[in-house]
Amino acid sequence: MRDTLAMVLAGGVGSRLNILVRHRAKPAVPFGGIYRIIDFSLSNVMNSGLNQVAVLTQYKPLSLMSHIGTGAAWDFVGRTREVKILPPHTGEKDSDWYRGTADAVRQNIAFLKARPSQQTLILSGDHIYYMNYKDMVRYHRTIGGKVTVAMMTVPWEQTCQFGIGAIDKENRIIDWEEKPKSPKSNLASMGIYVFDTEYLLESLTASKEVDFGHHILPMAMRDGQLFAYIFCGYWRDVGTIHSYWDANMDLLRPKSGLQPESWSICTNIEEDALSYDRPPVRILPGAEVRDSAISPGCIIRGRVRRSVLSPGVVVESGAEVRDSVVMHNTRIGSKAVLNRVVTDKWVNIGPNSRIGIGDSRLANRLYPEQLSSGITLIGKWAVVPDGASVGTNCIIAPKVTGEMWPEDLVLPDGETMDNLIQ
């Protein structure tokens, strides 16, 4: 695999994750208690034996860049091993920003040429999955095409979210539609591509097209050079609040297939020592924990059921947390109840508050397409006062303080509390 270069696309806005990406790039969003989303792609690169990887950043990249650091967490250090962070060449004009996935790679052609390779592996940095890229690269070389796309079958109702391809008996892609309304197939692109590097360079220099899914892959299909690599393992696009929550819940489902530890998924524990250099979990007398993932440094005095808790979470006596994802250093006061809640870091939940209790059929009024499945979001550094009542499909934005709440301390189903839009 020394002649294969990996490029991880990690610059997208990820706006469907709403307030979880207000202060960070989507690949930097915490996941599964101790990880970040990009850990899965980087660990797959490491475990597949690739030595050179570039991470293309753009939107709010600071936390992502800090997390990647030198790349030592994934063993990308040494004379022949490297992780390189590539921001857009901004400063002269608006077009300096990446205008699409293909444009992001095009702007870094100098990097590609400076590191000669036989194949270039293009990855998305915002999916949860395990894949040995060696197998895909070997398949690409065997089948003899110029471009290979990793694909898997998805439920028909989800096809509108993906690039969809139809294949012949040789796995050649003969029809391609990007996010079709009336799909002809349910074979979906995973956003993982192997290109012959020479063909990739030719494609990027011969045209000004900006996106792989909309432009470059259809061009390769018309050339008869586009093939599918069929994948049957665990893979999740966590681009929506519901899919992000559901993937976290997969950690608690024995038959889901999500197994980060057995996959040897690594994360950068040095980047945030306060989050990971913690004492063991403390489950005190009278507490109850069932079907949950509890990270180091958590203190449990109440009840936790079917939930994922990141390092440093405190659940006080009488409190109940169920079907929720609670990020680092959040404190849940006594007798508080959380139901289907996703909290960001450093949230303070007051005693006797009730969150996520209500009519889940009422979608969020401002973001109905993002919050309609009964999940309530609470942003980083937010405060929920003592005795507050928060319905379902609600949003409490980052840095909301106790003084911003209405006098009755009620946020009805589907409403949003955000000083940026009031």
Output Rg (C-alpha) for the chain, integer angstroms: 22
Q: Report d(CA 221, CA 176) in Å as an integer.
A: 8
**What is the average pLDDT across 42-69?**
93
8 Å CB contact between 17 and 240: yes
Percent of the chain with pLDDT over 70: 96
**What is the average pLDDT across 402-418?**
97
**What is the average pLDDT across 119-128?**
95
Indicate the pLDDT class of residue 59, thresholds 50, 70 and 90.
confident
Q: Is the pLDDT of residue 127 over 60?
A: yes
**Residue 385's CB: how many other CB atoms inside 10 A?**
18
Q: Is the pLDDT of residue 109 over 80?
A: yes
Contacts of 368 (CB under 8 A, 6+ apart): none
Instruction: Write the pLDDT tens digit of every residue in 254-308.
Output: 999 999 999 999 999 876 655 567 899 999 999 999 999 999 999 999 999 999 9
Which range (83-97, 176-190, 405-419) has the least confidence? 83-97
Instruction: Write the pLDDT tens digit of every residue in 311-330.
Output: 999 999 999 999 999 999 99
Give the pair of three-digit tokens for residue 219: 């061009």
**Which domains occur in the chain, in start order?**
4-250 (3.90.550.10), 274-417 (2.160.10.10)
| CA dihedral sign of residues 371, 372, 378, 384 | positive
Instruction: Write the pLDDT tens digit of every residue in 214-254.
Output: 999 999 999 999 999 999 999 999 989 999 999 999 999 99
Q: Report d(CA 37, CA 126) in Å as an integer.
A: 6
Q: Report d(CA 166, CA 184) in Å as an integer.
A: 7
